[in-house]
Amino acid sequence: MALHRSPRSIALCAALVALSLAAAGCGTGTKGAGGDAKGAAGAKGYPRTFDNCGEKVTLDGPPQRAVALDQGSAEILLALGLGDRMAGTGTWTDPVMKGLGKENAKVPRLADGYPSFEKVLDKEPDLVTASFGATLDKGGVAPRDKFADLRVPTYLSPSDCAKKDGSNGDGARGERLRMADIYGEVRDLARAFGVEARGARLIAGLKERMAKATEGVDAKGTSVLYWFANSESPYLAGCCGAPGIITEAVGARNAFGDTRDEWPQIGWEKIADRDPDVIVLGDLTRKNQTAETAKAKIGKLESSPVTRHMKAVKNKRYVLLSGAAMNPSIRTVEGVEEVARGLRDFGLAK
């Protein structure tokens, strides 16, 4: 999937015309936010090829106009200091990660949810990244092969492509997700942009935070339930995604760790039967589902006759997390920090 900018730009204009969009802004060259993108081709150490989720992705030079289509993917690029080489972002559940506001301000937000394929193409991207396979598929922004037809390379988070079919569109995991998988994504993207040293520093910082957050923490015997969203048929965490990393790191037990579905939808009676010691609540700012905010979730738990007598509810043992921290991303470390702090505060961890 080699990147050749001049033919790509011509193909892009043709595609936009076919989609009845104004093509007047397209030219035969691409100038990126970080300078002349043509000049990036043939840069030292390029072309670089990645094996990514069963596809070969080749970059002829460091990207200058990347578009990140999910918050987790965007925040990795922002944390690598690449805001000036990003042409847009999309699909956000929460405010940007603390400390990344300055970089994020450099980048246009194409949409809070999925931006249209045409809107992404209008940015003339030289790399499109995503955290979730659904984003680069039908029903999302567009399948990867539609970008490939225009010679636009795409990179999908390896933490998502390893999943199998599950009870719903979120899939299931045969193998447990590890922080090593997230670190691997950081290394890949740092290498794609030619900023390997920045990637190494970012990973070292994340490892240091993990060690500090979990030092001396032992919540053995404590059950934790993770509720992402939806009040009618709630999406709860199965054993093996980002909440699995969090649970294992603090030595606790996932109340629904007996399913490999990433986010199974569970009935309230079954939730009440599991009666967890602590409930981790997704505190989302998006508006896709019911009970997105932690406040709405708490209201549901404390008003329902089915759930209001649960241990965690009676004792108000709630830990609030961003949606981004509950998905595989560099913010999973934030999830470990917050859950460890909550368990200590509740007196449930040594």
The residue type of 156 is L
Judge if 15 and 127 occupy the same domain.
yes
Q: Is the pTM of this model over 0.95?
A: no
The stretch 317-339 carries a mean pLDDT of 97
Residue 329 has pLDDT above 60, yes or no: yes
Domain's final residue, options 127, 156, 185 = 156
- The domain that holds 274 is classified in CATH as 3.40.50.1980
Q: Measure the CA angle with vertex 168, ends 163 and 174; round to 5°.
A: 25
Task: Give the range of the structural domain holding residue 291, as residue numbers without chain letter.
Answer: 217-345
**Tokens at 291, concatenated:** 């009970």
Position 276 in a domain: yes
Q: Summarize pLDDT for 75-95 with one digit per residue, the tens.
A: 999 999 999 999 999 999 999
Q: Summarize pLDDT for 134-164 with one digit per residue, the tens.
A: 999 999 999 999 999 999 999 999 999 888 8
Domain's final residue, options 156, 183, 199 = 156
Number of domains in the chain: 2
Judge if 223 and 314 occupy the same domain.
yes
Q: In this predicted structure, what is the pLDDT of residue 238? A: 97
CB 326 within 8 A of CB 339: no
Q: Which residue has the higher pLDDT, 16 or 245?
A: 245
Position 86 in a domain: yes
Q: In this predicted structure, what is the pLDDT of residue 36? A: 36
Q: In this predicted structure, what is the pLDDT of residue 44? A: 87
Residue 24 has pLDDT above 60, yes or no: no
Residue 114 has pLDDT above 70, yes or no: yes
Judge if 11 and 140 occupy the same domain.
yes
CB 104 within 8 A of CB 90: no
Write the CA distances from 137 to 68, 69, 143, integer angstroms.
Answer: 15, 12, 4
